[in-house]
Amino acid sequence: MRTEEQISLDSVKFEYCPGIPILWDITLSIQRGEFIGILGPNGSGKSTLGRLLNARLRPTAGILLVEGLLSTVPHNIRRIKTLVTLIESDPGMQFVTSTVFDEIAFALQTLKLTREEIIERVEAALTLFSLHSYRNSHPFHLSSGEQFRLLLAVALARRPHYLLLDEVTSMMDSVTRYDILQILSEQCAAGIAVILISHRIEDLLHADRILVLVGGKKEVEGPANTVLTQALVTPSWKIAVPITHQISSLLLPHHRDLFPELFQK
């Protein structure tokens, strides 16, 4: 994979205060079109890692490249923020205009688009996220699920290469959560990398890979089933495993004994 199509971190460390590391020795690569989960308990450094990926923060040590752009070089910051869009957990704190239409249009002002191009992108975003009937509504008058759809519309209208979401499902009901995760999967299929930060492993079951952070360190990186199984036997991670997986992990050994032919290679 070319460096122009990925984010790469090599031994990245970050400290807010000298001598007190929040993250250390983080090595990771994220390709466009991947669905990556970042999982860990509160205080594990997940949000800090997200802000490093978006260049809101810069590494104290190590190398972080976004499509070949070094994040510690000041004149790269604006371009990195265009490539990597960050959506955080509180929608209300991220709105700056008085209508849904204007909110999407405002986000496009810095992209040097013509008026016609801006309108075209806004209309496409309204359609994609079923927001046409709210185009003249104030963002604060939307439900929490609709507000998050608006945030996604704003983000994707800018056509980022990487969509980074920090604990965005924490306040959603199960139906809204399912709909949003479906939309995120569709964006991956369209070539956008989705990086979903969560303390809920249920949100990450369809991720290509999950990175587990505990105490600022990378504990493991792998497919969801591997992480689920390891989380069951590693209570120090403080990650709640869905009851369905707990039950299946107890039953599987018995199924192997009773029906060995089903598990033969």
**Can you give the pLDDT at residue 235?**
86
Question: Once rounded to an integer, what is the mean pLDDT over residues 8-12?
Answer: 98
pLDDT in tens, 166-223: 998 877 888 888 888 888 999 999 999 999 999 888 889 889 999 999 999 999 999 9
The token pair that represents 249 in the structure block:
């992990």
Looking at the predicted structure, is the pLDDT value of residue 138 above 90? Answer: yes
Q: How far apart are CA 38 and CA 250, in angstroms?
A: 26
The answer to whether the CB of 9 falls within 8 A of the CB of 63 is yes
Looking at the predicted structure, is the pLDDT value of residue 248 above 80? Answer: no
**Can you give the pLDDT at residue 172?**
80
**Can you give the pLDDT at residue 166?**
94
**Can you give the pLDDT at residue 123?**
98
More reliable by pLDDT, 107 or 256: 107
The answer to whether the CB of 232 falls within 8 A of the CB of 241 is yes
Give the mean pLDDT of the chain.
Answer: 89
Q: How far apart are CA 243 and CA 156, in angstroms?
A: 34
E strand residue ranges, 121-248 = 162-166, 193-198, 209-214, 217-222
**Can you give the pLDDT at residue 246?**
57
Looking at the predicted structure, is the pLDDT value of residue 232 above 80? Answer: yes
**Can you give the pLDDT at residue 2?**
60
Question: Once rounded to an integer, what is the mean pLDDT over residues 251-262?
Answer: 46
Looking at the predicted structure, is the pLDDT value of residue 264 above 80? Answer: no
Q: In what order do the strands lie in the sheet with 6-17?
A: 20-31, 6-17, 61-66, 69-70
**Can you give the pLDDT at residue 243?**
64
Give the confidence band of 236 by pLDDT, cuts at 50, 70, 90.
confident
Go through the domains of the chain in sequence order and give each one's CATH number.
3-263 (3.40.50.300)
More reliable by pLDDT, 145 or 17: 17
Structure-derived torsion over alpha carbons of residues 176, 7, 88, 126, reported in degrees to the nearest 10 = -50
**Can you give the pLDDT at residue 193?**
98
Q: Give me the percent of the chain exceeding a pLDDT of 90.
A: 66
Question: Once rounded to an integer, what is the mean pLDDT over residues 109-113?
Answer: 90
**One-letter amino acid identity for 60?**
T
pLDDT in tens, 52-101: 999 999 999 999 999 999 999 999 999 999 999 999 887 777 899 999 99
- pTM for the predicted model, two decimal places: 0.86
The answer to whether the CB of 48 falls within 8 A of the CB of 57 is yes
**Can you give the pLDDT at residue 261?**
44
Give the confidence band of 265 by pLDDT, cuts at 50, 70, 90.
very low
